[in-house]
A and B are shown apart, each in its own frame.
Chain A
Amino acid sequence: MVSVRFFDSYDEIEAWTRIHSEGAVLSDKTPLLANLSMQENIALMDEVHRFMPIKASQTLARRLLAKLNLSHIEGKRVGACSDFELFATMLLRAERMPKDEIFIVLPLSLLGHADAVEQTLALIALLDSPKAISILELNSNRMHYQGQTCHILD
């Protein structure tokens, strides 16, 4: 289950992620590369960290996008994608990072609308990752997580 950790400020979140280097961070400070397509952004992790050949890594990236029902964006670049599509690609990139955890920082501000929490949780459920996924959120957004299927850490 996804766990949610609340902080008083963005600086606190940044400090926390710096200490917890065991996780791949997904935030507005870790955008996708604008000169690569969505599948290339995801495949980059396997090519760099696992020396996987281009063809194999991109096939895997396309399979992951298909798993999230986003096959239509595999060849698109950052400017041609919605916030949700970018977020999903960032999640897949974090998934392919050889780390045990994924930290999603402020999904509400990344997705920019009130349904962001539901969308994020649905996406994570669809991904069905073996990794531990934590959402790092501000205390002021706590009410958006009430009643959601996530584990709130205080």
Chain B
Amino acid sequence: MLNQVAQLGDLTLKRFYKTVSVAGFALSVFWHALLPQSYHPAMRMVLVKQIYFTAVQVLPVFVLIAFIFGSIIIGSVIILASELGLLNEIGSILVYFIFNEFSPFFTALLVALRSGAAVNTEISLMHVNHELDALTSYQVNLIDYLFLPRILSGVVSVTGLAIVFSFIMLVSGYLFSLFFMQMELTSYLRILLNAVSFDNILMLLLKSMTFGFFIMLLPIHSGLKTGSCYSDIPVAVLKGMVSLFVALFVIEAVSLLIWLV
């Protein structure tokens, strides 16, 4: 019993130290983001490349997934609203589901699966290969050159893709409204415009930006904690991805609480 309590205490302490370490790292990144000298030409080049890899390269697959998945979700919501006699509230329901919940969350999941894992592996590999030591030795600031562009690209990409996701879901919503409720485009748009508020848009943007920030920050932090062998890389990636998914659900829960308050 005593042993189990000790293990629980040990685990709690480890989690606490990790959280403090991540918070410290996040603050460093924030600080560097405010410094003009962080934005040297090499950093800007990495930023452009990262936005291309994270948001542009993935676009065809993302649009397809968003359309299929968005149609299923929106279809289900409309059918459920119709069965429950909530068709008068369909505008509010669609706006809430699309802007507040599904678009940022599913975009975050897709980007985390694709880019989060890639960034975690990349940083782990660079750590094991002494490439990070080389950059430090040559006085290239790791935050400026490696981390800040990846994190900014995460923020920009997730926000941009969430907006695309929202648009695709709205189009799916219209198609379902047309087939199930014989609703015309003008009526559909009027219902949406009456339902949407500034808070919905703000929530979409803030949530997407927060997701984007942590989707890159946590894998980078995990990559930096990799051991010195190649066999440590999968362990670091696994730990990083688990932390990331826990963080995504925590952000989701916190945003819901903020919305309700």
Which A residues form the contact surface with B (CB < 8 A)? 24-25, 28-35, 43-45, 47-49, 51-54, 57, 93, 97
Contacts and interface: CB of A to CB of B under 8 A. Distances in A.
Given A29-B130, A29-B133, A33-B134, 5 more contacts: A25-B137, A30-B134, A34-B131, A52-B41, A97-B139
B134 to A, nearest CB: 4
Given A24-B138, A93-B138, A30 B41 contact: no
Contact of A35 (B40, B42, B122, B130): B122
Interface of B: 40-42, 45, 122, 125-126, 129-131, 133-135, 137-141, 144-145
Contacts of B131: 31-34
Given A44-B140, A48-B145, A51-B41, A31 B134 contact: yes
A107 to B, nearest CB: 17
17 contacts: A29-B130, A30-B133, A30-B134, A30-B137, A31-B131, A32-B131, A32-B134, A33-B135, A34-B125, A44-B42, A44-B145, A48-B40, A48-B144, A48-B145, A49-B139, A53-B41, A54-B45
A29 B134 contact: yes
A31 B130 contact: yes
A34 B144 CA distance: 18
B256 to A, nearest CB: 38
A29 B137 contact: yes
Contacts of B41: 47, 51-54, 57
Contacts of B40: 47-48, 51
Nearest to B48: A54
Contacts of B145: 44, 48
